[in-house]
Chains A and B, each alone.
Chain A
């Protein structure tokens, strides 16, 4: 295991737990790298203050720590934003462009299913395009987010990718009239695939919103749209465009928002460079 990935485990009292809570003010990637050591160092400072025996020692240590966190957390955020902005100013790679374009096509495909009245056969093709596009955007967005908060980014991306892949598989199986469970049109399995897809898409949108390295409007549209889409789910996990109930209308609006979300995220992936690519650096000479 590389030294950089070694995790330091610290146990501490109430002071250190409160201090660890304060560290949430730092950018998540900084926190992931240094929070354990910072908590340990703060504990060392408290121990030194108590050892010196000054009555106000721990209080002074806390005062200094509060000032230290306020100043350095702000500076670290500014520095991170500058770095991300600088990196994003460069052109995206070919693969990012391709992923983004497929995502845009997928979002348009989803909108077309509900906004343009075409034959059911074409709807199936457009739903397949939608799922493939969503999976492409998940990969494109994940490549940026993984550098910022690896655990959260991986969890959200895997869930969204697998859920969309599952729904895609159901669409394909439905098209071929293959029914391995003998429950006409897959019944509950199809419903579960749709529900998983909307929930995973909503979670993916929320994570993207939280991490803030892709367009917030796209992430917000995806998260809100996916939640709304659940409200009018039929046995295929979607909603009917001619459902007259309020749930049907909200779900339809949600699906449209979901499609817009994928389009905006696809545009972002296709037109801005990902921030996760490390700056090339020559290995410094060792004496």
Chain B
């Protein structure tokens, strides 16, 4: 799920995905190369992401890297998961944050 959300609407390579996960989670989750690429492999096998044939903006491009993007199914799965988490957070927010603080 972290990798799906980190890719989001963009086309990202492994390093960008790893950095985005660290940023999204405020450093709480840091994947290494093994974590990133075993997850990428599973998402590719499940048809949730795909490798981009076209290169992104040439100025930002690094020819040595492979870029990945969500498929339609990947976007649908990410959206459904976000909606599910949103409902859970909304239900828990009135009391759960107070318990932490």
Size bracket of the B interface: 20 to 34
Which chain A residues numbered 174 to 226 have a C-beta less than 8 Å away from chain B? none
Residues in B with CB closer than 8 Å to A71 are: 34-35
B47–A284 CB distance below 8 A: yes
Per-position contact with B for A58-94: 1 when CB-CB < 8 Å, else 0?
0000001101110111011001000000000000000
Complex Cα–Cα for A167 and B3 (A)? 54
Residues in A with CB closer than 8 Å to B52 are: 3
B33–A4 CB distance below 8 A: no
B33–A285 CB distance below 8 A: no
Identify the interface centre among B36, B48, B64, B71: most chain A CB within 10 Å of its CB. Answer: B64
* B66: interface (CB < 8 Å): yes
Chain B residue nearest to A11 in the complex (CB):
B64
Complex Cα–Cα for A71 and B64 (A)? 27
- On whether A68 and B35 interact (CB within 8 A), knowing A8-B66, A286-B72, the answer reads yes
Chain B residue nearest to A75 in the complex (CB):
B38
* A253: interface (CB < 8 Å): no
* A52: interface (CB < 8 Å): no
Complex Cα–Cα for A53 and B75 (A)? 38
B38–A6 CB distance below 8 A: no
B64–A287 CB distance below 8 A: no
Q: Which of B18, B32, B64, B66 contacts A3 (CB 8 A)?
A: B66
Chain B residue nearest to A73 in the complex (CB):
B34
* B65: interface (CB < 8 Å): yes
* A28: interface (CB < 8 Å): no
Per-position contact with A for B63-97: 1 when CB-CB < 8 Å, else 0?
01110000111110000000000000000000000
A37–B38 CB distance below 8 A: no
Residues in B with CB closer than 8 Å to A10 are: 64
A37–B14 CB distance below 8 A: yes
A284–B73 CB distance below 8 A: yes
CB distance from B100 to the nearest CB of A (A): 27
Complex Cα–Cα for A8 and B37 (A)? 14
Complex Cα–Cα for A38 and B53 (A)? 20
* B40: interface (CB < 8 Å): yes
Complex Cα–Cα for A76 and B34 (A)? 10
Residues in B with CB closer than 8 Å to A284 are: 47-48, 50, 71-74
Show 27 A/B contacts (Cβ-Cβ < 8 Å), sorted by A.
Answer: A8-B66, A26-B34, A30-B37, A34-B37, A37-B14, A37-B37, A37-B65, A38-B14, A39-B33, A40-B14, A41-B14, A41-B15, A42-B33, A44-B15, A45-B33, A65-B34, A68-B34, A68-B35, A69-B32, A69-B34, A72-B38, A75-B38, A79-B42, A284-B47, A284-B50, A284-B74, A285-B73
Chain A contact residues, CB within 8 Å of chain B: 2-4, 6, 8-10, 26, 30, 33-34, 37-42, 44-45, 64-65, 67-69, 71-73, 75-76, 79, 281, 284-287
Chain B contact residues, CB within 8 Å of chain A: 13-15, 18, 30-38, 40-42, 47-48, 50-53, 64-66, 71-75
